[in-house]
Amino acid sequence: MAAQTPKDALAGRHALVTGGASGIGRAIAHTLAGAGAAVTLVGRRADVLRSAARELAAAFPVASFAAVADVTDWAAVSQAFTEARAALGPVSILVCAAGAAESAPIGRTDIAMWRRMMAVNLDGCFHCTQQALSEMIAAGYGRIVYVSSAAGVEGYRYVSAYSAAKHGVVGLARALAAEVAGSGVTVNAVCPAYTDTPLLRASAARVAERTGRDEQAVMEEYARANRGGRLLRAEEVAAGVARLCARGDVNGEAVVIDGREEGRESHKR
């Protein structure tokens, strides 16, 4: 990943980003728009999503669109892609950043939690990929990037369902990359360590409530768990995604972003 990103490689492309209204997804949307891509944001909350699309349009001289959909719902995803194509043309970049994290020891992980983690973190990637892939192959160009997690390449305590889903995301990326090799489409995953986002802060609040600990102390524990000893910024993850989108010579990788050095990424198979 040390190679330079080709200048203007993303200009004029249509990027669709799930979970694009907040956190890592929002940072990715802004980074891609800053590189000249038109951006469709997909998410569940219509008011938040449309506000994010207006913010994007005000910040960058590119087209933006908001498509309301729950990525766990195949029909809703299909409709979102139909609307996005009508608004901004064929989707040539897909970034699946929608996700959720719930924690519990395995003995208290019920089937409902297991299904929720699989549905949003893994099924959502599958649903979106089915909508985007055929037109990418037909065009001879496409970039698919899944936002997995460091928990998708190693085990984290008390998040077995989440970790299993994120491992599945990495497996999906590698299998699909092999399937589309030579077509002009690349498929990769980024695997960030703990990142300072609303999702992580909500997780810290739940842990603090359950354990009686201070929420800031929980956040500091997350930071110490990262190999770099600090929380990542969403923009660091977004930069890694943008580099994968801009390049055509990286396929089937799980890129671990762990904050050990500014902008450093490592590959782990």
Q: Which pLDDT belongs to residue 265? A: 42
Secondary-structure class of domain 14-263 per CATH: alpha beta
What would the mean pLDDT of 131-138 be, rounded to a whole number?
98
Task: State the average pLDDT over residues 210-230.
Answer: 82
Q: Indicate the domain borders of the chain.
A: 14-263
**Residue 21 tokens, joined:** 């209204």
Q: Is residue 4 classed as helix, strand or coil in its secondary structure?
A: coil
The reported pLDDT for the residue numbered 263 is: 39
- Catalytic choice (146, 162, 194, 222): 162
pLDDT at 217: 84
* Whether 222 is catalytic: no
Residues 210, 266: contact at Cβ < 8 Å?
no
Q: pLDDT tens digits for 160-215?
A: 999 999 999 999 999 999 999 999 999 999 999 888 888 888 877 877 777 788 88
Half-sphere exposure of 97 (CA within 13 A, CB side): 31
pLDDT tens digits, one per residue of 89-108: 999 999 999 999 998 999 99
Q: Over the stretch 80-91, which tens digit does the pLDDT of each residue have?
A: 999 999 999 999
For a pLDDT cut of 90, what percent of the chain falls above it? 74
Q: Given strand 142-147, what is the order of strands in its sheet? A: 64-68, 38-43, 14-18, 93-96, 142-147, 185-192, 254-257, 266-267
Count other Cβ atoms within 10 Å, centred on residue 193.
Answer: 24
**pLDDT bucket at 269, cuts 50 / 70 / 90:** very low
Q: Rounded CA gap, 142 and 267, in Å?
A: 22
pLDDT score of 261: 53
Each residue of 148-158: pLDDT tens digit?
999 999 888 88
The SS3 call for residue 220 is: helix
| 7-63 tens-digit pLDDT | 589 999 999 999 999 999 999 999 999 999 999 999 999 999 999 999 999 999 999
**pLDDT for the residue 231:** 87
Instruction: Return all residues near 147 (Cβ < 8 A) that are at least 6 apart.
Output: 19, 24, 25, 28, 95, 96, 97, 99, 169, 189, 190, 192, 237, 241
Query: Looking at the DSSP assignment, which residues form a beta bridge with residue 257?
Result: 192
Least-confidence region, from 140-144, 225-229, 258-262 = 258-262
Residue 55 tokens read as 């913010």
Q: Which of 158, 160, 161, 149 is nearest to 96 (CA)?
A: 149
Q: Is the pLDDT of residue 5 over 80?
A: no
pLDDT exceeds 50 at position 264 = no
- Mean residue pLDDT of the chain comes to 91
